[in-house]
Amino acid sequence: MESNQLTGAQEEPWRIFKILAEFVDAFEALSKVGPAVTIFGSARTRPGHADYRLAMRMAEALARREFAVVTGGGPGIMEAANRGAKKAGGRSIGLNIELPHEQKGNPYATTQLNFHYFFSRKVCLVKYSSGFLYFPGGFGTLDEFFEVVTLVQTRKLEGFPIVMVGKSYWRGLFQWIRKSVLTRGMINPEDLNLVTITDDPDHVIELVERYVEKRGADAMRYGAFS
């Protein structure tokens, strides 16, 4: 019996075109936004929580300084950041992922891109940003943090500001890194300087503005993976 259905083996090469389409659409949209900051954090953080309010406030302050705010496009911290950017009249960008649970696009991203593949979305969350803020979150936030800090450590990315927002939340992780990872020689002491831990919105904005000023407008044009 003839069938128009592709077999699994036949379908695999066509998957490449789906992946390329996600990159092409995202690169086309994001290459025009100018200096941007990506904000990560839990999808489970509820409106009214202190972390939600702080993410909203920081995003609003960044947008008022003409930074685009990029998030994963979902609820929680992502929603708060997009909400703050939109409130300030700034560029509020959400890179949403198709998931069976948790993730639905929030209404505050004025530019919403949808992804099927996690890895293409992760590239796009990083490629056009000049700083990365990590609010308290779970495995997804930790995954994004360790990937970005590894890229900076290995100089695949320039020394972008990597900021952990929430001293009380992140302190235990970095105590473990110092006690177990550093003391066993798995990283160098200077690697710890790649990350800033703070609760101060003004400090965050100062770090990002200082980096962008140092790097210059021409370098900003081509993104992180030029």
Instruction: Look up the CATH number of the domain holding residue 96.
Output: 3.40.50.450
* Phi, psi torsion values for 163, nearest 5 degrees: -120, 125
Say what the pLDDT of residue 89 is: 97
Q: Cα–Cα distance between 55 and 42 in angstroms, integer?
A: 11
Please, how many CA atoms are within 13 Å of residue 70, restricted to the half-sphere of its CB? 25
For the chain, which ranges sit under pLDDT 70?
1-10, 100-103, 216-226
Residue 7 lies in a domain: no
User: 48 by DSSP, 3-state: which?
Assistant: coil
Residue 26 lies in a domain: yes
Residue 226 lies in a domain: no
Residue 1 lies in a domain: no
Both structure tokens of 72: 């994963």
Both structure tokens of 172: 């235990």
Domain ranges, residue 146: 16-211
**Residues in CB range of 36: below 8 A, 6 or more apart:** 30, 67, 68, 69, 70, 91, 93, 128, 129, 130
Residue 8 lies in a domain: no
pLDDT in tens, 186-207: 999 999 999 999 999 899 999 9
Residue 2 lies in a domain: no
Say what the pLDDT of residue 4 is: 54
Residue 220 lies in a domain: no
Q: Cα–Cα distance between 221 and 90 in angstroms, integer?
A: 19
Q: Cα–Cα distance between 155 and 193 in angstroms, integer?
A: 14
Say what the pLDDT of residue 5 is: 58
Residue 45 lies in a domain: yes
Domain count, the chain: 1
